[in-house]
Amino acid sequence: MTNVRVAGVGLTHFGSHPERTSRDLFAEAGAVALEDAGVPREDVESVFYGNFMGEVAEHQGHTGPLAAEALGVRAPATRYESACASSGVALRQAVKDVRNGEADVLVVGGAERMSHVGTDETTEGLAIAADDLYEVRAGLTFPGAYGLMARAYFEEHGGSREDLAHIAVKNHANAVGNEHAQYQKEITVEQALDSPTVASPLHLYDACPITDGASAAVLVSDDYADEHDLDAPVAVTGTGQGGDMMALQDRASMAASPAADDAAAEAYDDAGIDADDVDLAEVHDCFTIAEVLAVESLGFAERGDGITAAREGETRKDGRIPVNLSGGLKAKGHPVGATGVSQLAEVTSLLRGDHHNSDAVSGARVGVAHNAGGTVASATVHVLEVLD
């Protein structure tokens, strides 16, 4: 079976671009990825595209072909939607296609335009990732759902708002120097604690921002990389996906993310690694509590211990397992459909050594990307490794 080589990656600036369509954002990220790969457009055999709220935010469905067209590629294109894991699941399908020998050159990515519709409409748009009948009609928002999870975690395992604040502080610090990041400034624990309540116990600084942006990557087979003498040292060596009941009320526990447990187990097994082999990770910290659940699902902390991982320095830049060296969704931003592949782009850059935080993980060989949809009713985990 061929390796799935990451030949090139591309990102737009993540932030507020209210006048730019998602097709335009994707065109930019895709062009950067193709340039980075040194792969001509005409070699692209298919486009895998993640987008969540095109219908709600841009009155636009059927966004796959539109993405390919914006990229200047005439090839079959499919849009994948799995809420905030949209491009994570697109990536997984692209990886399978290369492995199966269906294609030698694919573009995978995603885009989202959100800021132009305002906070109320975006709150409503994001809420459709929850169960409409049993959650949205009970007044549950996306932050509200994670508020329920945070409270449940505190009840089950202990922990405090201050523990969560340390995660926000860490991720903001990591984003300093990331030219793609929405927020490139440090914050303090006090600022996080004093920020306004969004959905208790979560406050504004526990939440990722509303973000416009796009991501793209060029995946190629070993044969193509060799024939074209590409410099593509990083490969996707493991892929996993998990699922769960949509509504939090139907889960055995609201203080865990079993879909991500399953995705991690599958991806590690696929790559033939253990959690101990992982040098760094980009995880889906749409809210600070989500990073806690992620580091536990990925096996970087025991269940109930993830809450203090940032506070005790374990997941910091100089810690045992640096998490979200990009700044994470919290500081880098979360253009929903673009997030999964943006994590792939960050991990690839970190492993290649051309990331603003590469010095913190020099010699790193194994990285993981964890992407979650909704309240983790869907999750993907991908393992990336530097090939010998």
Minimum distance from CB of 135 to another protein (Å)? 6
Minimum distance from CB of 199 to another protein (Å)? 5
Q: Which is nearer to another protein, 100 or 119 (CB)?
A: 119
Identify the residue whose tokens are 């997984």: 92
Q: Which is nearer to another protein, 206 or 314 (CB)?
A: 206
Q: Which is nearer to another protein, 205 or 268 (CB)?
A: 205
Q: Which is nearer to another protein, 188 or 197 (CB)?
A: 197
Minimum distance from CB of 256 to another protein (Å)? 13
Helix, strand, coil in percent for the chain, rounding step 5: 45, 20, 35
Minimum distance from CB of 225 to another protein (Å)? 44
Q: Which is nearer to another protein, 156 or 186 (CB)?
A: 156
Minimum distance from CB of 246 to another protein (Å)? 10
**Rounded (10°) CA dihedral 144, 147, 148, 153:** 160
Distance CA 304, CA 316 (A): 18
DSSP 130: S
Minimum distance from CB of 255 to another protein (Å)? 9
H or E, element range at 204: none
208 in active site = no
Q: Which two tokens stand for residue 359?
A: 């010095």
Q: Which is nearer to another protein, 133 or 387 (CB)?
A: 133
How far is the CA of 176 from the CAs of 185, 309, 343, 370, in angstroms? 6, 21, 17, 22
Angle 339-315-180 from CA coordinates, rounded to 5°: 35
Amino acid of residue 204: L
Identify the residue whose tokens are 């490139």: 184
Minimum distance from CB of 247 to another protein (Å)? 7
334 in active site = yes
Q: Specify which residues 370 forms β-bridges with.
A: 381
Minimum distance from CB of 210 to another protein (Å)? 11
Output phi, psi for 154, to 5 deg.
-60, -40
Q: Specify which residues 240 forms β-bridges with.
A: 381
Q: Which is nearer to another protein, 196 or 363 (CB)?
A: 196
**In the chain, which ranges are continuous DSSP H helix?**
22-37, 54-58, 63-71, 86-99, 118-127, 142-157, 161-175, 189-194, 222-227, 258-271, 288-297, 328-332, 339-352
Which is the catalytic residue, given 13, 84, 172, 370?
A: 84
Identify the residue whose tokens are 């990825």: 33
- From the list 311, 323, 331, the residue with the least C-alpha distance to 360 is 323
Q: Which is nearer to another protein, 233 or 243 (CB)?
A: 243
Q: Binding residues for another protein, per CB under 8 A?
A: 119-121, 123-124, 127, 133-141, 143-144, 147-149, 151-152, 155, 196-202, 245, 247-250, 254
Which is the catalytic residue, given 172, 284, 334, 355?
A: 334
Instruction: Mark 109-146 as b/e (b = at least 16 C-beta within 10 Å).
Output: bbbbbbbbbeeeebbbbbbbbbbeeebbeeebbbbbbb
Question: By CB neighbour count within 10 A (0-12 exposed, 13-18 middle, 19+ buried), where does 161 fall?
Answer: middle
Which are the catalytic amino acids?
84, 334
